[in-house]
A and B are shown apart, each in its own frame.
Chain A
Amino acid sequence: MSTQTQPVRQKSPGDWLTSGPLRFLVSIGVPVIAFLFLRWSFVLLRDQEANRILVAFIALTIGVFGVWILYLLTYYLTEQLPERLGERVRPFVFVGPAMVILFIFLLYPIGHTFYLSLMNADSEEFIGLKNYRTIFTDEQMLITLRNNGLWLISVPLFSVSFGLIVAVLVDRIGRWESTAKAFIFLPMAISAVGAGVVWKFMYFVRAEGEIQIGFLNAIITKIGGSPTNFLETIPLNNLALIIIMTWMVTGYCMVVISAGIKNVSTEVLEAARMDGANELQVFFRIIVPIIRPTLITVGTTVLIWVLKVFDIVYVMTNGRRDTQVVANQMYTELFRGGSVGLGSALAILLLVAVSPFIVSNVRELRRRRA
Chain B
Amino acid sequence: MFQSQGAVQSRLRKILTASPVRIAVLALCLVWSIPTLGMLISSFRVTQEINRTGWWTVFSPRDNTEYRSLVDRVERSKTFAERTQDQFVAAQAALEAGPSEEAVSTAVAEAEAALSEAVSDAETDLAEAQAALDANEDGAQARVDEAEAALDAAQTALAAGVNADEIRAQLLDALREDVQSTEERATNAQTMLETDRKALAETDEPKNFPIGSEGWRRQWTLDNYEKVVNADRMGDAFLNSLLITIPSVVIPITIAAFAAYAFAWLSFPAKDLLFALVIVAMGVPGHLALVPILRLYLRVDLGGTYMGVWLAHTGFGLPLAIYLIYGYMITIPREIMESAHIDGASAMTAFTRLILPLSIPVIAAFAIFQFLWVWNDLLIALVFLGTEAENAVLTARLSELIGSKGQDWEVLTAGAFITMLVPLIIFFALQRFFVRGLTAGSVKG
Residues of A within 8 A of B (CB): 38-39, 42-43, 46, 52-53, 56, 59-60, 63-64, 67-68, 71-72, 75, 79, 88, 90-95, 97-99, 101-102, 104-110, 112-113, 116, 166, 169-170, 172-173, 176, 178, 180-187, 189-202, 204, 211-215, 218, 247, 250, 252, 255-256, 259, 270, 273-274, 279, 301, 304-305, 307-308, 310-311, 314-315, 327, 330-331, 334-335, 340, 343-344, 347-348, 350-351, 354-355, 357-358, 361-362, 365, 369
Contacts and interface: CB of A to CB of B under 8 A. Distances in A.
B57 to A, nearest CB: 9
Contact of A172 (B17, B26, B346): B17
Contact of B348 (A64, A75, A176, A259): A75
Interface stretch (B102-110, B200-208, B275-283): B275-283
Interface in B388-403: 394-395, 398-399, 402
A71 B409 CA distance: 49
A38 B375 CA distance: 24
Contact of B261 (A94, A106, A202): A94
Nearest to A348: B288
Nearest to A61: B247
A190 B35 contact: no
A63 B267 contact: no
B10 to A, nearest CB: 7
A197 B413 contact: yes
Contacts of A98: 255-256, 258-259, 278, 318, 322
Interface of B: 6, 9-10, 13-14, 17-18, 21-22, 24-26, 28-29, 32-36, 38-39, 42, 50-56, 236, 239, 242-243, 246-247, 250-251, 254-256, 258-259, 261-263, 266-268, 272, 274-293, 295-296, 301-302, 304-307, 310-312, 314-316, 318-319, 322, 346-348, 351, 372, 375-379, 382-383, 394-395, 398-399, 402, 406-407, 409, 412-413, 415-417, 419-420, 423-424, 426-428, 431, 434-435, 438-439, 443, 445
Contact of B285 (A59, A187, A351): A351
Contacts of A72: 348
Given A192-B378, A198-B35, A327 B259 contact: no
B6 A170 contact: no
A30 to B, nearest CB: 16
A110 B284 contact: yes
Given A247-B35, A357-B283, A191 B51 contact: no
B33 to A, nearest CB: 5
A211 B54 contact: yes
Contact of B402 (A106, A196, A357, A369): A196
Contacts of B18: 172-173
A270 B301 CA distance: 66
A43 B50 contact: no
A86 to B, nearest CB: 10
Contacts of B9: 273
B330 to A, nearest CB: 11
Contacts of A105: 289, 293, 311-312, 314-316, 318
A329 to B, nearest CB: 11
Nearest to B36: A198
Tell me the dominant secondary structure on chain B's binding face.
helix
Contacts of B33: 183, 186
27 contacts: A59-B243, A60-B243, A64-B246, A90-B347, A94-B261, A95-B262, A97-B258, A98-B259, A106-B315, A108-B292, A183-B33, A186-B424, A187-B36, A189-B426, A189-B427, A191-B420, A193-B399, A197-B412, A197-B416, A200-B402, A211-B53, A213-B50, A218-B56, A255-B438, A273-B10, A327-B287, A358-B282
Contacts of B434: 185, 189
B54 A218 contact: yes
A94 B347 CA distance: 10
Contact of A197 (B39, B236, B267, B383): B39
A183 B39 contact: no
Contacts of B14: 172
B288 A71 contact: no
Contacts of B431: 178, 182
B23 to A, nearest CB: 10
A107 B277 contact: yes
Contacts of B263: 95
- Residue in B56, B272, B289 whose Cβ sees the most chain A Cβ within 10 Å: B289
Given A182-B431, A193-B398, A197-B39, A43 B305 contact: yes
Given A279-B17, A315-B399, A351-B285, 7 more contacts: A59-B247, A63-B246, A92-B262, A213-B50, A215-B55, A270-B6, A354-B284
Given A94-B261, A301-B445, A358-B280, A198 B39 contact: yes
Contacts of B261: 94
A75 B29 CA distance: 53
B113 to A, nearest CB: 69
B285 A197 contact: no
A52 B445 contact: no
- Residue in B32, B246, B351, B382 whose Cβ sees the most chain A Cβ within 10 Å: B32
B438 A256 contact: yes
B393 to A, nearest CB: 10
Given A56-B239, A64-B250, A197-B416, A180 B25 contact: yes
A91 B266 contact: yes
B412 A90 contact: no
Nearest to A43: B305
Contacts of A202: 34-35, 38
A306 to B, nearest CB: 11
Q: Which 7 A-B pairs have the closest CB atoms?
A: A105-B315, A63-B247, A98-B259, A191-B376, A358-B283, A94-B262, A91-B268
A52 B243 CA distance: 11
A214 B409 CA distance: 11
A190 B314 CA distance: 21
Nearest to B419: A194
B54 to A, nearest CB: 5
Nearest to B351: A94
B383 A335 contact: yes
Given A197-B413, A198-B416, A334-B291, A310 B379 contact: yes
